[in-house]
Amino acid sequence: MSIPNGDMHPSSPDSLPDKLDAVPQSTQQQQRKSKKSKPAVSAASTKTDDFIMDTNSSSIVSKRSVEKLYYPGRKEYFRYFVRKFQRRSPLINRGYWLRMKAVDSVISKFLNDRKGVRKVVVNLGCG
């Protein structure tokens, strides 16, 4: 891959030395062995992970329900994460809507307060 001035791009395969020749044979064999062996994972650990992932899936479906019912005409972001739309109960929809509204309100107030000051919003989770 050439850069406009004609130099080779540093990450181009043509400009990099063959790294396998530089690695001693014993190190290559150790790397192959370490890739083959997998850490032991208990069934309980896997089951716990599955439960955690299921709560995320349920949450995404609920957010998709709110997005579709309470924000018609807006771009639908959660549709990429949910295969089929499922309508949730009104109580669940209201709870998710209220949380989304509260976060939107607090962030908008923060960003509009003292206009000349630089602000940063860091999202540490969406659950």
Q: How many structural domains is the chain composed of?
A: 1
Please give the average per-residue pLDDT across 108-125, as a whole number. 88
Alpha-carbon distances, residue 62 vs 56, 78, 81 (angstroms): 10, 10, 11
Is residue 85 included in any domain, yes or no?
A: yes
Whether the pLDDT of residue 5 is over 50: the answer is no
The string of DSSP codes covering 39-52 is: ----HHHHHHHHHH
Predicted confidence at residue 34, as pLDDT, reads 53
18 within a domain of the structure (yes/no): no
Residue 119 has pLDDT above 80, yes or no: yes
**What pLDDT, on a 0 to 100 scale, did the predictor assign at position 22?**
47
120/110 Cα distance (integer angstroms): 10
Whole-model pTM? 0.53
29 found inside a domain = no
Q: Name beta bridge partners: 16.
A: none
Contacts of 49 (CB under 8 A, 6+ apart): none
Task: Confirm whether 77 is domain-assigned.
Answer: yes
Is 59 contained in some domain?
A: yes
For residue 63, tell me if it sits in a domain.
yes
The residue segments making up the domain with residue 61 are 48-104
Average pLDDT, rounded, for the chain: 74
- Domain-embedded: residue 120: no
Domain annotation covers residue 8: no
Please name which of 59, 94, 51 lies closest in space to residue 78, comparing C-alpha atoms.
59
**pLDDT mean over 87-114:** 92
pLDDT of residue 126: 60
